[in-house]
Structure 1
Amino acid sequence: MDKRQTMLDDFEHLQDQTTGILDQLAALKKQVTALSEENAELTVENQHLRELLGTDTDTTEAQQRLSKSLQNLERLYETGFHVCREFYGQRREENDSCAFCLDVIYGERDRTIKAS
């Protein structure tokens, strides 16, 4: 009977530990959610402040020379997706650069500048 009681005690102890871990995970999930929401709010607020100040750090000289469609492709590329014909829409592995994508985005502009 001692073995049975010891096993039941061990099982109850394990169950208590598991419940504690689940409570900790729930608390961490709440914290991560709150931080993610705060981050999103601050990102939007920063963008609005940049627009008000007229200093959008994302607008570089190179982007100003790109057409709207190429700027859209550049944004897609910067978020980690291929924009080249060979791999269009696929995620770039570890955000490695792709010569084909860069040629699609900047190639025509570079050829135009060299021709001038």
Structure 2
Amino acid sequence: MSEEYNSDNLYEQFAQVMGQTQDLVKKMEQLQAKIIAISEENVELSIENKHLRQVIKENQPQRNKDQLSVSRQNLKELYQQGFHVCSEYYGKRLEPNESCTFCLDAIFGHDQGMMK
């Protein structure tokens, strides 16, 4: 009788482990479905993000870092014509072969918004 009890107990344990395994498989399938949905959404958002970046880039004015703004180009032309464009000596004539660091900084220096 002890063998029967052990066999029954063994069968119950097996049935219990089998039920737990089936529950685990169901949870894993649910988790897999969620992972797939999140991955698909991630791909869609990545494509949309790339598209939006491209649209933004196309709608922004094209300006290279080396290219001067229109106002700085005007200052450069005045400077090349022989006039100071710096705040210190603005409008005064440059001496022949003279260069002015302040003028060059006004023309080619960093944008005011970038300086701290």
TM range (shorter): 0.3 to 0.5
TM-score, structure 2 normalization: 0.46
Query: What TM-score, normalized by structure 1, do the two folds share?
Result: 0.46
- Greater Rg over alpha carbons, structure: 2
Say which structure is richer in helix: 1
